[in-house]
Structure 1
Amino acid sequence: MNLIEDIKIWISENPFVVGIVKYLLWVLFIIIVIKLTRRVLRRRISNTSARYKSQKGIEILGYILLILLSLFYFSGSMKNFTIAIGVFTAGIAFTLQELILSLAGSVYIFLVKVYKPGDRIEINGIKGDVIDVDSIYTTMMEIGQWVSSDNYSGRIVKLSNAFVFKGPIYNYSQDFPFIWDEFNLPIKYGSDIELAKLIVIKIARKVLSDYTLNSKAKWNDVVNKYYIENAEVDPTLAITLNDNWIQFNLRYIVDYKKRRGTKDVLNDEIRKEIYLTNGKVMLASTTLELIKIPKLEVDVNKTN
Structure 2
Amino acid sequence: MESIEFIREWMTAHPTTASVITYLLWVIVVVGLVQFLRRLLRKKLPDTDTRYRTQKGIEVLGYVFIILLTVSYFTGNIKDFALAIGLLTAGITITLQELILSIAGSVYIFLVKVYKPGDRIEINGIKGDVIDIDSIYTTMMEIGEWVSSDNYSGRIVKLSNAFVFKGPVFNYSRDFPFIWDEIDLPIRYGSDLELAKEIIIRIASEQLSDYVENSIAEWKTVVDKYYIEDAQVQPTLALTMTDNWVRFNLRYIVDYKKRRMTKHLLNSLIGQEIAKTNGKVELASATIEVIRVPKLDINTPTKTEL
Q: Do they superpose with TM above 0.5?
A: yes
Aligned residues: 301
Is this contact kept in 2: 1:274–1:281, CA < 8 A?
yes
What residue in structure 2 maps to residue 155 of structure 1?
155
What CA RMSD, in Å, does the superposition of the two structures yield over aligned residues?
2.5
**Partners in 1 of 2:161 and 2:52 — Cα distance?**
17
**Displacement after TM superposition at 1:89 (Å):** 1.7
The alignment-based identity, stated in percent, is: 65
The amino acid across from 1:171 in the alignment is N
Aligned to 2:304: none
| Long gaps (5+) in structure 2 | 302-306
How much does 1:199 deviate? 0.6
- Alignment CA distance shift 1:3-1:58 (3 Å): closer
Q: Is 1:279 the counterpart of 2:279 in the alignment?
A: yes
Mapped contact 1:211–1:254 kept (Cα < 8 A) = yes
Taking a change above 3 Å as real, the CA distance of residues 289 and 34 of structure 1, as seen in their structure-2 partners, is same
The 1:191–1:7 alpha-carbon spacing in structure 2 relative to 1, beyond 3 Å, is closer
Q: Is the 8 A contact 1:244 1:287 kept in 2?
A: no
Indicate if the aligned counterparts of 1:103 and 1:161 stay in contact, CA closer than 8 A.
Answer: yes
**1:89-134 Cα distance to aligned partner (Å, 9 max, x none):** 2123222222222222222222322111111110110001111112
Q: Decide whether aligned partners of structure 1 residues 6 and 182 sit closer, same or farther in structure 2, where only a CA change above 3 A counts.
A: closer
Q: How big is the shift at 1:294? A: 11
1:84 to 1:269, Cα distance in 2 relative to 1, 3 A: same
CA contact (8 A) 1:34 1:59 kept: yes
Mapped partners of 1:39, 1:197: distance in 2: 59
Q: Match for 1:97: what amino acid?
A: Q
1:261 maps to 2:258: no
One-letter code aligned to 2:253: I
Aligned residue for 1:233, secondary structure, equals: coil
Distance in structure 2 (CA, Å) of the matches to 1:185 and 1:47: 45
1:289 is displaced (CA, Å) by 6.2
Partner Cα separation in structure 1 for residue 138 and residue 18 of structure 2: 39
Quote the residue 2:42 is aligned against. Answer: 42
Supply the distance in 2 between the matched residues of 1:105 and 1:33 (Cα, whole angstroms). 26
* Map of 2:176 onto structure 1: 176
In structure 1, what residue type is equivalent to 2:115?
Answer: Y
Distance 1:78 1:130 in 2: 38
**CA offsets 1:209-267 (integer angstroms, 9 cap, x no match):** 11111111111111111111100000000000010000000000001011111111111
What are structure 1's unaligned runs of at least 5 residues?
Answer: none
**TM-score (norm: length of structure 1):** 0.91
Secondary structure in 2 aligned to 1:94? coil
**28-37 vs 240-249, greater mean Cα deviation:** 28-37
Report the equivalent of 1:93.
93
Deviation at 1:83, TM superposition (A): 2.4
Is 1:251 aligned to residue 251 of structure 2? yes
Q: 1:8 to 1:35 in 2, by over 3 A?
A: closer
- Specify whether residues 4 and 61 from structure 1 end up closer, same or farther in structure 2 by C-alpha distance, changes over 3 A only: closer
Counterparts of 2:60 and 2:146 in 1: how far apart (Å)?
A: 37
- In 1, the alpha carbon distance for the partners of 2:5 and 2:283 equals 100
**TM-score normalised by the chain length of structure 2:** 0.90
Where in structure 1 do 4 or more consecutive aligned residues deviate above 4 Å?
Answer: 1-9, 289-301
Give matches, 1:203-242, under 5 Å.
Answer: 203-242=203-242
Name the residue aligned to 1:53: 53
Q: Secondary structure at the match of 1:95?
A: coil
Change (3 A) 1:211 1:30: same
**How far apart in 1 are the matches of 2:52 and 2:99?**
22
Residue in structure 2 matched with residue 126 of structure 1 by the alignment: 126
Shift of 1:299: 11
